Amino acid sequence: MNEPFVIKIEEPEWDISSCDRLGELISPALDHPNVVIDLSAVEYLDSRSLAKFVEMRRKRVLKHGYPPAHLVLKTNAGVSRLFSITGFDQLWPIHGTLEAALAATIQERTAGA
């Protein structure tokens, strides 16, 4: 259970018609203390999809006492800009690559040990 649990989101667009499916894909994050969600393939998220991440974060932190999941975003893509504009980049550790996110979770675990 100490190894990072990786959730890879491969569909490029998430909107009102698909946000419930996105919520289902990220729901396993509630059961693991060390989670990386790879959104590097995602090009578009609407507000309902963003709300799924807020809900997941709230449950992880408040209900389970887990730290926020680490997110992987393409640094020059619209989703990264959206997280910056909304201030969501202050709610989650954001990384440009999966490797960087995995390394950060290892650092986080060793610092807490």
CA-based torsion, 52, 57, 62, 63: positive or negative: positive
Helix (H) and strand (E) counts for the chain?
Answer: 4, 6
Whether the predicted model's global pTM rises above the 0.85 cut: yes
pLDDT at 112: 60
What length does the chain have?
113
Buried b vs exposed e over 25-47: b needs ≥16 C-beta within 10 Å?
A: bbeebeebbbbbbbbbebeebee
Q: Which residues pair with 70 in a beta bridge?
A: 36
Q: For residue 110, what pLDDT is reported?
A: 75
Q: Which CATH number describes the domain made up of 5-99?
A: 3.30.750.24
Tens digit of pLDDT at every position of the chain (113 positions)? 478 999 999 999 999 999 999 999 999 999 999 999 999 999 999 999 999 999 999 999 998 999 999 999 987 778 999 999 999 999 999 999 999 999 999 888 777 65
